[in-house]
Structure 1
């Protein structure tokens, strides 16, 4: 028979997990996240424009390389070779300026949007009932506003721009390849099915792994916040060994969750490099 004791709820993992990770809820969260950028429409638009412009400029070097080899070096045409070199320098300068502008605008919008999100979260917490705070751990709530918002910061300022940029580069590179030589392009794209399969596997496994990392990090923060705030009670009742053992277990589970993500990255990215080498060898 289990006997209830006052305060035992503080040892539970309640509040450290998010149960609903369905696609519907994920899309709703993304819409809410994008809504935070609405007050900054002008700079958001400038961030998108500079991102697309930078991607287009980054696709120019292959054309200049073709011009340098075919019309400059092969025919010993110094004028054509000079134009190709000037084009390389101009493309590099433009890419530098556009990349700097895109980073600035993305960071500007992202930091202000997430600052607004923190204010909204804090205002929402003030409107919640006392029962909510009885049912949820204080540290887990703090983790939502600090650790999770910090993760969103990385997503907004780096993840979204990298996703859009890499997608545009992939599509643009495919177009350039087909324009230059469609046979070599088909040979290069032969590895795409394998790449898609490996990526689908990585996405499925990493989604669960990184979800566990966020949950375990919230539990670590919750345990620290509650143990430090209650240190007077812990020391008064000589509960230091028990608290130490509890935190060691929480920290160990957090380490295991991070280790899984390290293993997945260690398998996926070398596999991508191997497939890229295979595509080069096919050509």
Structure 2
């Protein structure tokens, strides 16, 4: 769904307001209060007119006191209604975007990794934060307020016509000029707001990427160049905002001028009518109030219409994410008590984009409890193999089976919970060590985590940290060393007790001492589990049951370490290159 910016897009408006259904009673109350405000607003000038003509001109103090009390009650009631209306519409808007943000985030978590490969993270942040806040304005300052203002305008004009229809026509003579100015302003500010939204998306994307990659920026001394880029983006954002403010600075004085024209016509025509005894002084006083009350909602109407319009633009962008079909299908329902761990790739072809295949006709079988090592140069397809096993990406041709069943037949969360993947680049959330291991899984106890930490050899260093397992590792585990973060990832894999284990060269970023600590834990973790190891150091996979050499997505060789050495082919060359080049005797 494209973001057209059309405030009268019925289907889009209906979709936004469907989120108000759980709060329909409050929504109806907001509508009632809106109608009440439209009716109460013109009563004050009418009471003033009645007071002037019936009590002030006749010096009737009792009547004046009585009308003063009546107007005080009216103003109090109007204030109370206005308070409840403002609170209720804002409460409604925030409640709607709370539910919508929940659904958007839930949808994002189900998207395939392919979607994130092509979509900047800053764009998604803008959609789930800034754009959703704009949608909230649809309820607090948008459609309901627009309807209320229109009702108020109609009611005021009705009171004016009732008081004196000729004078009404005179003072409304400049109204066509206001309608023309409002239309021009509406179109101009729409374009300006769209530019503002586009620039804030670029700004968020730039900030997210460069704050995340600050290490690279500083490592290569790119601070000045990146700062210059930021200044350019920030300048365009400022320019877009100034442009929108410029339109306001033109439009509001124009409205005031037109309003003054109406007042001038009122004085001219009213004075003549009073001198001829055709109109009472109370009508003139009330019309002064009517004009001020009439032009205020008209002036705000253009602004509120653009608020509604921008809310619909933002809604279109948000629902565009919601409507994306890049969601991993979860049609499978199979959830056996426990997997054995047999894996079979049967003539698997895979491409990230169209026909540019990353994996070409990959076939192999792995019995339960066996260990498979994948070796090859960068870009050979090793990581792609484990990505499609976890169904992060869908294969193009062939089939992938676990225990003889196509992986698409399994319930997705069950499949992924049965496969533990320990990556070379460990990701830790800004949270405690305990929560980073548990990941909100209530079935995992604190005792299990401590036991796993003890087996991995990490308990000692964790207990030395302030707070122990409650220590906050900060964003991406920045307060831990690479080795410590890797140890936590091993604990996380161990407590989930998977049937299939994937190790993406999990010790490559670990120092020698730490590597020694976890070698026994790795062997324990691999016991009775099917294991796939992505290996860069061939010394770590010599005891694998099966080794596959990949090159440009194709299997070049398959066998044990000794078998592949005897072939004197791809594996032997990799082995010699890695060991002989550093002077190690083979």
Report if TM-score (shorter chain) is over 0.5: yes
Alignment of 1:237-252 (within 5 A): 237-252=220-235
Structure with larger Rg: 2
- For residues 82 and 25 of structure 1, the distance between their equivalents in structure 2, rounded to whole angstroms, comes to 49
Alignment of 1:63-82 (within 5 A): 63-82=46-65
Give 2:249's aligned residue.
266
Match for residue 32 of structure 1 among 1, 12, 15? 15
- For residues 243 and 40 of structure 1, the distance between their equivalents in structure 2, rounded to whole angstroms, comes to 47
Give 2:115's aligned residue.
132
- For residues 152 and 273 of structure 1, the distance between their equivalents in structure 2, rounded to whole angstroms, comes to 30
Match for residue 82 of structure 2 among 93, 96, 99? 99
- For residues 122 and 14 of structure 2, the distance between their equivalents in structure 1, rounded to whole angstroms, comes to 27
- For residues 25 and 119 of structure 1, the distance between their equivalents in structure 2, rounded to whole angstroms, comes to 26
Alignment of 1:195-234 (within 5 A): 195-234=178-217
Alignment of 1:40-79 (within 5 A): 40-79=23-62
Q: CA deviation at 1:85?
A: 1.1
Greater helix share, 1 or 2?
A: 1
Q: Deviations over 1:51-83 (max 9, x none)?
A: 211221121111111111110011223333233
1:142 equivalenced with 2:125 (yes/no): yes
Contact kept? 2:93, 2:138, Cα under 8 Å: no
Q: CA deviation at 1:191?
A: 1.2
Give 1:122's aligned residue.
105
Match for residue 159 of structure 2 among 147, 161, 176? 176
Q: CA deviation at 1:25?
A: 8.5
Q: TM-score, length-normalised on structure 1?
A: 0.89
Contact kept? 1:58, 1:91, Cα under 8 Å: no
- For residues 251 and 31 of structure 2, the distance between their equivalents in structure 1, rounded to whole angstroms, comes to 29
Q: TM-score, length-normalised on structure 2?
A: 0.44
**RMSD after superposition:** 1.7
Contact kept? 1:67, 1:80, Cα under 8 Å: no
Q: Which runs of 4+ in 1 moved over 6 A?
A: none
Give 1:280's aligned residue.
263
Contact kept? 2:93, 2:139, Cα under 8 Å: yes
Structure 1 runs not aligned, ≥5 long: 1-17
- For residues 280 and 19 of structure 1, the distance between their equivalents in structure 2, rounded to whole angstroms, comes to 45
Q: Which range is displaced more, 82-91 or 136-145? A: 82-91
- For residues 51 and 24 of structure 1, the distance between their equivalents in structure 2, rounded to whole angstroms, comes to 20
Q: Which range is displaced more, 200-209 or 145-154? A: 145-154
The 1:213/1:130 distance shift into structure 2, 3 A limit, reads same
Q: Deviations over 1:38-59 (max 9, x none)?
A: 1111111111111211221121
Give 2:279's aligned residue.
none
The 1:19/1:255 distance shift into structure 2, 3 A limit, reads farther
Q: CA deviation at 1:22?
A: 5.7
Q: Deviations over 1:165-210 (max 9, x none)?
A: 3212211110010010101110111111111100110011111100
Structure with the larger RCO, 1 or 2 (CA within 8 Å, 6+ apart): 1
1:23 equivalenced with 2:6 (yes/no): yes
Q: Deviations over 1:231-266 (max 9, x none)?
A: 111112222122111111111111111111011001
SS where residue 40 of structure 2 aligns? helix
Q: Which range is displaced more, 95-104 or 264-273? A: 95-104
Contact kept? 1:55, 1:169, Cα under 8 Å: yes
The 1:107/1:180 distance shift into structure 2, 3 A limit, reads same
- For residues 122 and 244 of structure 2, the distance between their equivalents in structure 1, rounded to whole angstroms, comes to 24
- For residues 163 and 254 of structure 1, the distance between their equivalents in structure 2, rounded to whole angstroms, comes to 29
- For residues 206 and 78 of structure 1, the distance between their equivalents in structure 2, rounded to whole angstroms, comes to 51
Provide the aligned length of Structure 1 versus Structure 2.
Answer: 266
